[in-house]
Structure 1
Amino acid sequence: MILVRLMGGLGNQMFQVAYARMLALEYGDNIYLDITGYEKYKIRNYSLLNLKINDFLKTNNDLEINKIESFLLRFSQKTYHIYHKVAKISTKIDRYGNYPFKILSKYGLYYNFDRYYYESMSSKSKLKCVYGYFQSEKYFEKYSQQICSELKVNKPVSEREQNELDDITQSNSIAVSMRLGDDYRNSSSLNICNEDYFTRAMDEIFEQHPDSVFYIFSDDIDRAKKINFKYPVRFIEGFQDYESLRLMYSCKHFVISNSSFSWWGAYLADNPNKIIIAPDRWYNDCKIKPDIYFEQMLSLNSFKGVST
């Protein structure tokens, strides 16, 4: 059994279950999701019900775990968090989770809040627990084609969404994902993508594709509407998160923020020649480039001169 202590919004949830799904395919185990955190976490909702991968998931209501195992898991997670904080402060380096990840994974404890990929040890544990964000393609690339298919939306398309999908699929659509919410703007670690970044990125794509149609996705669409865009844009608003995800991965090219949601929107797109422009850094407090970047992602500074 693989138990995932789920957290975050849809993008983060997708990274966690992608890793759990990889483990399930490797070991032949079932996946159970601990979603109790969403009872108090009101900022984001549990959203995996709307994806195809939900067919392979069970929630904590179906858990077959005794009180002792539950206590030991919680204790180990709290202990890991203490180590994580102490190591981060004392070492002042970015990659401090490799050794504990290898040791813990041998016992079926896949704990990692680092921003990097670490290889796990083979485990004979019947109970495995996934706790962390696992934001890297490397964690599931062995089964990436299958997992990507399973992470597509499984809900019927509404008439309103279908109208947007028709426009997106029939045009040279560019998804521009803008994080503008207060939680992002007030974060010293995350506040990276400003208006200049989006303007320059849109300029680069428009130079290669003069027929581009820019679709604006944002966590604060009202703020996005106040921006004086250089090009005509269309705002995607009034949709559920899974509908926005489907609209985004239906676009042909991408300008993304340092956001797990926009990462998946670009990653799941089927266009083999897609352009993905990403910020030059993902975190302000990261000395080493995190492993969330994948081959097709081009930083804005490296994009200039690249032809498609």
Structure 2
Amino acid sequence: MTIVKFLGGLGNQLFQYAFYLALQRAFGNVKADLGGYESYTLHQGFELGRVFGISLREISEFERKLYLPEDRRWLWRKLRQICGTKYSYMEEKQLFYFDESIFSKAAKRYYWGYWQHAGYIRLVEDELRRKLIFPPFDDDQNEKLVGWMEGRNTVSVHVRRGDYIGDPLLGGICDVAYYKRAIDYVGHAVENPVFIFFSNDVAWCKQTFAPYSDVFVG
């Protein structure tokens, strides 16, 4: 059996789901570890189910202890030795890297990582396109927005703040100057573009990008 640990917000979960499906296609018996989401408050928990109606085969607490080296008591160490899971834990070694060797041989593995590479997506692209379908809107706000968008050249602008501000790895990726250059580029490349800003800090976006749009979604 192979286990994939799911962690982070929806974006990370989508990458992990592609990795999960790729392993499932290669080896068959794959389960998900969703432990920790009940107390995870940084984002909105496990969102693949809520947004796309996706359900995964989850591991039991027994399987978690059998595959993870955390419990060092003699009984669990012996069970791991007997069941061949003593060295099953494998953490992603390099970010943004496609590790093709993972698919070379079936093994009892517990994978922890983000798996953010198009290589994993390409292996199951057809299946992802079938399964990642948004459900119909069931609230007035979204229905009105969709109706307003029809017939317009809408451009989605994603502005993530919050936990990304000040992050040494991610905080400087998209500064205000970057957004303004991108908006200017699209303005010349697309006929009558209408920019819709999606953000976890709508107030800041309205203050910063008011000249470019009057549609802001939180």
TM-score, structure 2 length as denominator?
A: 0.79
Q: Distance in 1 between matches of 2:189 and 2:204?
A: 28
Size of the aligned set, in residue pairs, is 199
Q: Which secondary structure state, in structure 2, belongs to the residue aligned with residue 133 of structure 1? A: coil
In the alignment, is the contact (CA less than 8 A) between 2:15 and 2:121 conserved in 1? no
Q: Residue 204 of structure 1 aligns with which residue?
A: 185
Structure 2: stretches of 5+ with no match in the other structure: 72-86
Q: Distance in 2 between matches of 1:232 and 1:71?
A: 49
Q: After superposition, what is the alpha-carbon deviation per residue over 1:125-181, rounded to whole angstroms, capped at 9, x for unaligned?
A: 2x4322100111111202212213312334654332122122234310100011222
**Counterparts of residues 152-167 of structure 1 (less than 5 Å):** 152-154=133-135, 156-167=137-148
Q: Distance in 2 between matches of 1:51 and 1:128?
A: 28
Task: Check if 1:124 corresponds to 2:106.
Answer: yes
Q: Distance in 2 between matches of 1:173 and 1:110?
A: 42
Q: Distance in 2 between matches of 1:193 and 1:52?
A: 28
The runs of at least 4 aligned residues of structure 1 exceeding 4 Å deviation read 107-110
In the alignment, is the contact (CA less than 8 A) between 1:108 and 1:124 conserved in 2? no
Q: Residue 225 of structure 1 aligns with which residue?
A: 206
TM-score, structure 1 length as denominator?
A: 0.58
Identify if the C-alpha distance between structure 1 residues 129 and 71 changes in structure 2 by more than 3 Å, giving closer, same or farther: closer
Q: Which secondary structure state, in structure 1, belongs to the residue aligned with residue 32 of structure 2? A: strand
Q: Distance in 2 between matches of 1:228 and 1:22?
A: 40
Deviation at 1:53, TM superposition (A): 6.4
Q: Residue 142 of structure 1 aligns with which residue?
A: 123
Q: Residue 215 of structure 1 aligns with which residue?
A: 196
Q: Residue 26 of structure 1 aligns with which residue?
A: 26
Identify which of 167, 170, 181 aligns with 1:187.
Answer: 167
Q: Which secondary structure state, in structure 2, belongs to the residue aligned with residue 210 of structure 1? A: coil
Amino acid at match of 1:70: Y
Q: Which secondary structure state, in structure 1, belongs to the residue aligned with residue 63 of structure 2? A: coil
Identity over aligned pairs, percent: 26
Identify if the C-alpha distance between structure 1 residues 228 and 5 changes in structure 2 by more than 3 Å, giving closer, same or farther: closer
Structure whose alpha-carbon radius of gyration is higher: 2
Structure 1: stretches of 5+ with no match in the other structure: 76-106, 238-308
Considering only aligned residues, what root-mean-square deviation do their CA atoms show, in Å? 2.5
Identify which of 33, 44, 63 aligns with 1:65.
Answer: 63
